[in-house]
C-alpha cells in the first residue's frame, strides 16, 4: 500500500523526492486546453455541461495527485506518454504538492458551486479565470505560481526548482533584454491592441450603418404602402383608408 500511496520519486543524487517537470507542464497544458474549451462553450452557448464535466475530471485528477500518488493521476500519465522521449527535468515535490493542494481547493470550490449547487454567475467567471491563469503560467511559461507561494508559508525553502529559480539567479548573455528589444515588444503590443480596437469600432460602425439601411428600407416600404389612392380621396375616405391600412 505504501508503494501506491506515495508522493514523488527518490532519485539517486537528489536529497529530496522529485517529479518530472516536463510531464507536469504537459499535464497543465492538457488541463488548460480542456478548461478553455469548456469555458468558451459555456460562454457562447449558455450550456454548462462541458464545464461541469471538466470540473469533475479536474477534481478527480487532483485528488489522485495530492492524496494518492501523482504517478496515477490521469493527466500526468498522458503527459508522461507525450514527453517520454525527452530528457527528464527534475523538480522538488514539496512545492508542487503545496501548489496542487491549492489547485485541489479551487477544484473543490468550483465543484460545489457549479456541479452540486448549479450556481451560475460572477463567482464562476472569477474561479475560471484564476484556473486558466494558473494553468497558462505553468504550461506556457514554466512558472508555478503556487510553488512561488510555498516559501511564504513554509519554513523549509523549496529545493530543486525548474530553471534553477530556487538558487541565486545570474542571467546568461543570451537572456539579456536591451532597450531595443523592449521597444520592439512594446510597439508590437500597441499595434495588436490598435488593430483590435479599430476592428471593433469598424464592426460597430458597419453594424450601425446596416441597421440604419434596414430602417430606411423599411420606412421606404412603409411610405409606399401608405400612399392613399385617388378613389379613397375622391370619396372622402382618406383617413379611414390610412386607419384600415395601419398607416
Over residues 17-63, the pLDDT tens digits come to 889 999 999 999 999 999 999 988 888 888 889 999 999 999 999 99
Does residue 208 surpass a pLDDT of 80? Answer: no
Taking residue 223's Cβ as centre, other Cβ atoms within 10 Å add up to: 10
Do residues 141 and 48 both lie within one domain?
yes
Q: 101 pLDDT band (50/70/90 cuts)?
A: very high
Q: Give the pLDDT mean for 71-92.
A: 92
Quote the cell numbers at residue 148: 512561488
Do residues 65 and 134 both lie within one domain?
yes
Q: Give the pLDDT mean for 84-101.
A: 90
Do residues 48 and 153 both lie within one domain?
yes
Quote the cell numbers at residue 126: 472569477
Q: 246 pLDDT band (50/70/90 cuts)?
A: low
More confident call, 68 vs 164: 68
DSSP secondary structure string for all residues of the chain: -TTTS--SB--TT-SS-EEEHHHHHHHHHHHHHHHHHHHHHHHHH---HHHHHHHHHHHHHHHIIIII-GGG-HHHHHHHHHTTTSPP-EEEHHHHHHHHHHHHHHHHHHIIIIIIT---SHHHHHHHHHHHHHHHIIIII---HHHHHHHHH-SS---S-GGGTTSPP---GGG---HHHHHHHHHHHHHHHHHHHHHHHHHHHHHHHHHHHHHHHHHHHHHHHTPPPHHHHHTT-HHHHHHHTT-
Do residues 115 and 226 both lie within one domain?
no
Q: Give the pLDDT mean for 229-239.
A: 71
Do residues 158 and 100 both lie within one domain?
yes
Do residues 116 and 229 both lie within one domain?
no
Amino acid 100: pLDDT: 92
Do residues 163 and 211 both lie within one domain?
no
Q: Which of 61-65, 93-97, 180-184 has maximum average pLDDT?
A: 61-65
Does residue 172 surpass a pLDDT of 60? Answer: yes
Quote the cell numbers at residue 169: 539567479
Q: Give the pLDDT mean for 68-97.
A: 92
Domain with 121, as residue range(s), is: 18-168
More confident call, 198 vs 190: 190
Amino acid 103: pLDDT: 92
Question: Do 38 and 51 contact (CB within 8 A), yes or no?
Answer: yes
Does residue 240 surpass a pLDDT of 90? Answer: no
Question: Do 98 and 133 contact (CB within 8 A), yes or no?
Answer: no
Do residues 205 and 160 both lie within one domain?
no
Do residues 121 and 35 both lie within one domain?
yes
Do residues 143 and 100 both lie within one domain?
yes
**How far apart, in whole angstroms, are the C-alpha atoms of residue 58 and residue 193?**
33
Quote the cell numbers at residue 132: 486558466
- The verdict on residue 67 lying in a domain is yes
- The verdict on residue 185 lying in a domain is no
- The verdict on residue 8 lying in a domain is no
Amino acid at each position: 500500500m505504501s508503494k501506491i500511496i506515495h508522493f514523488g520519486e527518490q532519485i539517486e543524487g537528489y536529497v529530496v523526492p522529485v517529479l518530472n517537470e516536463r510531464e507536469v507542464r504537459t499535464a497543465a497544458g492538457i488541463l488548460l486546453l480542456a478548461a478553455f474549451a469548456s469555458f468558451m462553450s459555456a460562454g457562447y452557448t449558455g450550456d454548462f455541461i462541458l464545464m461541469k464535466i471538466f470540473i469533475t475530471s479536474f477534481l478527480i485528477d487532483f485528488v489522485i495527485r495530492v492524496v494518492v500518488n501523482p504517478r496515477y493521476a490521469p493527466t500526468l500519465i498522458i503527459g508522461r506518454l507525450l514527453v517520454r522521449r525527452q530528457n527528464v527535468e527534475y523538480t522538488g515535490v514539496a512545492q508542487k504538492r503545496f501548489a496542487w493542494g491549492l489547485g485541489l481547493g479551487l477544484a473543490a470550490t468550483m465543484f460545489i458551486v457549479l456541479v452540486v449547487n448549479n450556481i451560475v454567475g460572477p463567482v464562476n467567471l472569477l474561479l475560471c479565470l484564476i484556473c486558466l491563469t494558473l494553468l497558462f503560467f505553468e504550461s506556457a511559461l514554466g512558472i508555478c505560481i503556487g510553488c512561488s507561494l510555498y516559501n511564504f508559508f513554509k519554513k523549509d525553502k523549496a529545493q530543486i526548482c525548474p530553471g534553477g529559480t530556487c538558487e541565486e539567479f545570474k542571467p546568461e548573455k543570451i537572456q539579456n533584454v536591451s532597450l531595443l528589444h523592449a521597444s520592439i515588444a512594446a510597439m508590437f503590443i500597441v499595434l495588436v491592441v490598435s488593430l483590435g480596437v479599430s476592428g471593433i469600432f469598424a464592426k460597430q460602425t458597419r453594424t450601425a450603418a446596416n441597421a440604419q439601411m434596414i430602417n430606411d428600407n423599411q420606412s421606404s416600404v412603409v411610405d409606399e404602402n401608405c400612399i392613399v389612392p385617388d378613389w379613397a380621396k375622391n370619396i372622402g375616405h382618406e383617413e379611414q383608408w390610412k386607419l384600415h391600412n395601419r398607416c
